[in-house]
Amino acid sequence: MCGARFLQTRMYQKGVTCQDCHEPHTAKLRVEGNALCARCHDATQYDSQQHHFHKLGTSGAQCVECHMPAQNYMVVDARRDHGIRLRVRILSQTLGSPNACTQCHAEKQPKWARRR
């Protein structure tokens, strides 16, 4: 059963299902790391320092860190947010909405993230 956050995504609207990423009987990922996202998205464009601003192979370079950040549910159960959002840096500066950079770099201001 898909979560409500995933059902609201553009990916779901385009026909992506849970089974595209997860094995249906075990819920395990079909492929680990950014290779999972690269099954549909161009790795040369998105799995690059120009896109995520982190050294390749580091945790900050993982697609899920920005687009599916871990959230605590029921206080103790950490899960990835399947809302798969685009974290728009300019909106965090003007509207105060979350962005991928400052959720990890909490000591930085949205203005810093916008320059990235």
Chain segment 4-46, per-residue pLDDT in tens: 889 999 999 999 999 999 999 999 999 999 999 999 999 999 9
Residue 23: inside a domain: yes
Residue 70: inside a domain: no
Region label for 107, one of left (φ > 0), alpha (ψ between -120 and 50) or beta (otherwise): alpha
* Whether residue 57 sits in one domain with residue 8: yes
Amino acid at 84: I
> Domain count of the chain?
2
Residue 35: inside a domain: yes
Residue 99: inside a domain: yes
Whether this prediction's pTM lies above 0.75 is answered by yes
* Whether residue 104 sits in one domain with residue 114: yes
* Whether residue 61 sits in one domain with residue 18: yes
* Whether residue 111 sits in one domain with residue 81: no
- How far is it, in rounded angstroms, from Cα 8 to Cα 85? 10
- How far is it, in rounded angstroms, from Cα 116 to Cα 114? 5
* Whether residue 27 sits in one domain with residue 13: yes
Count of C-beta atoms within a 10 Å radius of residue 104: 14
Q: Which pLDDT score is estimated for 40?
A: 95
Residue 116: inside a domain: yes
Q: Confidence band (pLDDT; 50, 70, 90) for 116? A: low
SS (H, E, C) 52-73: HCCCCCCHHHCHHHHHCCEEEE
Contact 58, 64 (CB under 8 A): no
Q: Which pLDDT score is estimated for 5?
A: 87
Range of the domain at 95: 86-116
- How far is it, in rounded angstroms, from Cα 41 to Cα 107? 31
Chain segment 36-80, per-residue pLDDT in tens: 999 999 999 999 999 999 999 999 999 999 899 888 877 778 888
* Whether residue 41 sits in one domain with residue 57: yes
Q: Which pLDDT score is estimated for 39?
A: 96
Residue 50: inside a domain: yes
